[in-house]
Structure 1
Amino acid sequence: MLFDYFPWLIGTALVAIFWWQSLGARSRARRAALAACEQARMTFIDELAFDRIGLGRGFIKRRYRFEFYQRGDRRYGGIVDMHGLHVARVQLEAHPFSEESA
């Protein structure tokens, strides 16, 4: 009787592990986006949006999008690529350079 529930228990455990890892990846991606904005002297808009998911060699690839601004008059976009729980790349959209950000 217990073995009838075994596939459901394994499936539930796998979903829980995936969900837990996704939360960790999102948290690290948000910190990486915030650090990139601070380094560029831009203001991070407090939102990180999930964009896509894929499979890499032994890890799950995720992409998150975010927005930032310099003076509030125009928003710019950025992306964070994650390979598992590792930040693979943070990219900021081209934005104007000013004396304040030097």
Structure 2
Amino acid sequence: MIDLAPWLLGLAIVALVWWRAMGARSAARRAAQAACEEADVIFIDELAFKRIGFSRDGQGSWRLTRRYGFEFYSRGDRRYAGTIEMHGQRVVRVYMGPRPV
């Protein structure tokens, strides 16, 4: 049973990391939908993981940063790109690329 403990601990850590990543993705999706609704454009139901790394927050502390990409359209069939940057579970910035008004 002692030999099984490190495997169970490793599995628990992997599950925790996965759970937090799914929470961040869910928060990013809600932020993208809200930004598209506010900009009066249509969110295309795709959220793509772009990058993970470390960056400084407003107080100068290092934070785990995730960047997600999404697409939207205003009219017709032309798609436009947007990005969401997150520190942990918190949305830091939503950027919606240039689009016709």
The one of 65, 82, 86 aligned to 1:82: 86
- Identity in percent: 57
User: Which structure 2 segments of 5+ residues have no match?
Assistant: 56-60
| CA-to-aligned-CA distance 1:34-69 (integer Å, 9 cap, x gap) | 000111100000110111111345642111100000
The DSSP-based 3-state class of the residue aligned with 1:71 is coil
The DSSP-based 3-state class of the residue aligned with 2:34 is helix
User: Which structure 1 segments of 5+ residues have no match?
Assistant: 98-102
- Does 2:52 correspond to 1:48? no
C-alpha distance in 1 between matches for 2:31 and 2:6: 37
Question: Which letter maps to 1:41?
Answer: D
The DSSP-based 3-state class of the residue aligned with 1:6 is helix
Structure 1 residues 13-92: aligned runs within 5 Å:
13-56=12-55, 57=61, 59-92=63-96
The two structures have a TM-score, normalised by structure 2, of 0.88
- Pick the structure with greater CA Rg: 1
C-alpha distance in 2 between matches for 1:37 and 1:70: 9
Aligned-residue CA RMSD (Å): 1.4
